[in-house]
């Protein structure tokens, strides 16, 4: 979480249950940011309260692990007003959650709220499909989506941070 004196960019990923798509997005982004040497504050939440305190779905953990990313330590929590003050960017994994996020935004929030796939050329306006009721293929598709978006997001944030000799 960002304190007032923390200059790092804060990024929050939001899906419905916070056990499938947003933890995978958080894991993919943490991994992409680490590879790029970018120090961000990152978290994920759900708009619903179905899975508070729970670890990600086993299939999400296994999918991330297959790509060398460990998300097993993440725990479900629900979007709260304070998130809009602490994070610079809030990314929704689909349009229904984008509306749910906007409906919760307090007047004094600073976060820019957007659809995650809007970061990816050719995928603007589209969802990371919810894999919860499907099979492992859906989790792999979701992982690919969040990974492409994570790479685009790292580039976007890195561009805004001037080099030391600029």
User: Which spans of this chain sit near ligand 4NP (rule: CB under 6 A)?
Assistant: 15-21, 50, 130, 132
CA gap 31, 37 in Å, rounded: 10
Query: Is-contact 117 126, C-beta < 8 A?
Result: yes
Cβ distance to ligand 4NP smaller for residue 20 or 79: 20
Active site (annotated) includes residue 15: yes
Q: Which residue in the list 15, 30, 40, 57 is annotated as catalytic?
A: 15
Cβ distance to ligand 4NP smaller for residue 130 or 151: 130
CA gap 92, 95 in Å, rounded: 7
Query: What 3-state class would DSSP assign to 70?
Result: coil
Active site (annotated) includes residue 130: yes
- Across the beta sheet with 112-115, the strand order is 41-46, 10-15, 89-92, 112-115
Q: Which residue in the list 21, 30, 59, 86 is annotated as catalytic?
A: 21
Least separation, in Å, of the C-beta of 166 and ligand 4NP?
A: 39
Tokens of 125: 């306006």
Query: Is-contact 90 98, C-beta < 8 A?
Result: no
Half-sphere exposure of 13 toward its Cβ, with a 13 Å CA cutoff? 30
Instruction: Tell me which residue has its CB nearest to ligand 4NP.
Output: 17
Active site (annotated) includes residue 70: no
Q: Which residue in the list 57, 83, 94, 130 is annotated as catalytic?
A: 130
Least separation, in Å, of the C-beta of 78 and ligand 4NP?
A: 12
Least separation, in Å, of the C-beta of 58 and ligand 4NP?
A: 12
Least separation, in Å, of the C-beta of 158 and ligand 4NP?
A: 27
Query: How many beta carbons lie within 10 A of that of residue 30, not counting itself?
Result: 19
- What residues are labeled active site? 15, 21, 130
């Amino acid at each position: 979480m960002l304190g007032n004196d923390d200059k790092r960019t804060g990024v929050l990923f939001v899906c419905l249950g916070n056990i499938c798509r947003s933890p995978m997005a958080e894991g993919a982004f943490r991994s992409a940011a680490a590879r790029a040497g970018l120090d961000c504050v990152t978290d994920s939440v759900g708009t619903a309260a179905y899975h508070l305190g729970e670890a990600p779905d086993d299939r999400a953990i296994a999918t991330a692990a297959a790509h060398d990313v460990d998300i097993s330590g993440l725990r479900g929590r629900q979007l709260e007003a304070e998130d809009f003050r602490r994070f610079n960017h809030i990314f929704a994994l689909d349009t229904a959650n984008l509306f749910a996020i906007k409906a919760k935004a307090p007047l004094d929030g600073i976060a820019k709220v957007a659809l995650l796939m809007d970061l990816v050329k050719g995928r603007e306006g589209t969802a990371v499909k919810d894999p919860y009721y499907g099979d492992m293929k859906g989790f792999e598709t979701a992982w690919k989506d969040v990974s492409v978006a994570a790479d685009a997001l790292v580039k976007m944030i890195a561009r805004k941070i001037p080099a030391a000799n600029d």
